[in-house]
Amino acid sequence: MYRVPRTRVFVKEEEFALPPLGALVALASGTLTEDMKGIIAVTDQFRKEYPKMLEEHKQILEALKRLSVAARQEKRYEVAHFADKLILHAQTEEQVLYPASLMVGEYLKAKLR
């Protein structure tokens, strides 16, 4: 069975970007607890890593775009579709998930400090 290698970007996403999003359900319902202070440290570290992650994403996107073009030239439309979906996924992370994660940290700073 083939396993997708865990890239540095993937590890950083799991470590810094995704955990703060787990608090959104509670925050959306108005629940704010002292133990959420731990999320602030995670988002502070994420903010430091953010520019590097975006640069790594840029490199990944360039490779996916080349893959999509090459796949279309080879009439491998399923591969092109896959690459296009990954491009969309990366753009969603950059435009929605990452900023939302950072905003969770900023919100918690304002409310808990």
In a domain, 73, yes or no: yes
Instruction: Answer whether residue 1 is part of any domain.
Output: no
Q: Which domain holds residue 33?
A: 8-112
Contacts of 20 (CB under 8 A, 6+ apart): 39, 42, 43, 46, 101, 102, 104, 105
Kindly give the confidence (pLDDT) of every residue in the chain, 113 residues in length, as a single tens digit, with 9 standing for 90 and above: 434 455 566 678 888 999 999 999 999 999 999 999 999 999 999 999 999 999 999 999 999 999 999 999 999 999 999 999 999 999 999 999 999 999 999 999 999 97
Q: Is residue 3 part of a domain?
A: no
